[in-house]
């Protein structure tokens, strides 16, 4: 059993991040902990609470935060994703966990999924406070992924939209936006696939998410290649969970990155696509992560 608390903690820029803190009951000493965050353009309400519950049931204090500009966290412009800012905010989340009286500050692991799985790799490589890394269906190469996501004949028009947005911001306009998901081929959106549409449009509390994203977030995502850091995670233990048919955090790119990682490492292949680790494959993905944290944290 565990208790779930709503907490907030400050990050740079004078804003607070909103988080859930899961604390196992009946503990007499500080406990190991796991820090978690959601993927690209989601919130903590998008499919990751069951993982937090599994970790808390296993005896870990768990902190799950919304990235700045998303969910119940502060920050403007809303729905705006700078991966390097998210990484620096996540370091502050680790510091917040270390300061909690329930936590053994020397026993903290990190779990990230999708875009945040890439963040987990970068943080595992650059922050030795973290004793184990779990990267689920992680983004590893934004450039290569972007080349597959946009047809070659559509690249020039996309680049023109980015240029127009940049020049409009010089003139004081807010960043341009587009939808995160749409099943309509005529509507610009980050994701078009049916499984992405279904996942992002799952019911969440009113006011915590909207189907809108700054266009420049997509540019930053295409510039972001966290797999470059993967051989630097060692000697911190790395678990990668990779879906066999992932068209978002593309399977072959993830496997190629895993080959570059050094020991100690473990690869678990999951059935299905990008969102199956949250759904049909949840029993396996959560169990493997729990076992990894128990072994190394």
CATH 3.50.50.60 fits 2-145+221-296, yes or no: no
Q: Give 147's contacts (C-beta < 8 A, 6+ positions apart).
A: none
Identify the pLDDT of residue 150: 85
Identify the pLDDT of residue 91: 98
Identify the pLDDT of residue 243: 98
| Burial of residue 264 (number of CB atoms within 10 Å: 0-12, 13-18, 19+) | middle
Identify the pLDDT of residue 291: 98
| Of the candidates 139, 123, 125, the residue with the CA atom closest to the CA atom of residue 36 | 123
Strand partners, 11: 15
Identify the pLDDT of residue 280: 97
CA dist 295 and 133 (Å) reads 12
CA dist 188 and 179 (Å) reads 6
3-class secondary structure, 279: coil
Q: Are strands 265-270 and 238-243 parallel, antiparallel or unpaired?
A: parallel
Alpha helices in 9-74 (DSSP H): 49-57
Identify the pLDDT of residue 272: 98
Low-confidence stretches of the chain (pLDDT < 50) are none
Identify the pLDDT of residue 227: 98
| Burial of residue 72 (number of CB atoms within 10 Å: 0-12, 13-18, 19+) | buried
């Amino acid at each position: 059993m565990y208790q779930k608390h709503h907490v907030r903690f400050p990050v740079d820029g004078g804003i607070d991040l909103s988080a859930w803190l899961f604390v196992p009951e009946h503990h007499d000493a500080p406990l190991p902990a796991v820090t978690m965050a959601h993927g690209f353009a989601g919130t903590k309400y998008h499919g990751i609470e069951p993982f937090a519950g599994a970790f808390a049931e296993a005896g870990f204090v768990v902190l799950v935060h919304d990235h700045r500009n998303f969910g119940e966290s502060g920050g403007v412009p809303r729905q705006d994703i700078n991966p390097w800012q998210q990484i620096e905010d996540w370091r502050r989340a680790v510091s917040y966990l270390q300061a909690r009286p329930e936590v053994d500050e020397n026993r903290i692991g990190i779990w990230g999924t999708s875009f945040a799985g890439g963040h987990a790799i970068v943080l595992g490589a650059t922050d030795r406070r973290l004793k184990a890394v779990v990267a689920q269906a992680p983004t590893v190469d934004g450039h290569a992924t972007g080349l597959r996501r946009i047809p070659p004949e559509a690249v020039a028009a996309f680049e023109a939209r980015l240029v127009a947005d940049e020049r409009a911001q010089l003139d004081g306009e807010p960043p341009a936006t587009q939808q995160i998901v749409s099943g309509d081929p005529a509507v610009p959106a980050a994701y078009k696939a049916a499984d992405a549409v279904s996942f992002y449009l799952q019911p969440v509390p009113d006011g915590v998410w909207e189907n809108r994203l700054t266009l420049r977030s997509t540019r930053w995502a295409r510039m972001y290649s966290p797999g470059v850091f993967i051989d630097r995670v060692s000697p911190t233990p790395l678990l990668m969970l990779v879906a066999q048919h992932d068209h978002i955090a593309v399977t072959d790119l993830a496997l190629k990155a895993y080959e570059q990682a050094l020991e100690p490492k473990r690869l678990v292949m999951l059935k299905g696509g990008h969102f199956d680790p949250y759904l049909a494959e949840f029993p396996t993905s959560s169990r493997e992560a729990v076992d990894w944290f128990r072994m190394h944290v």
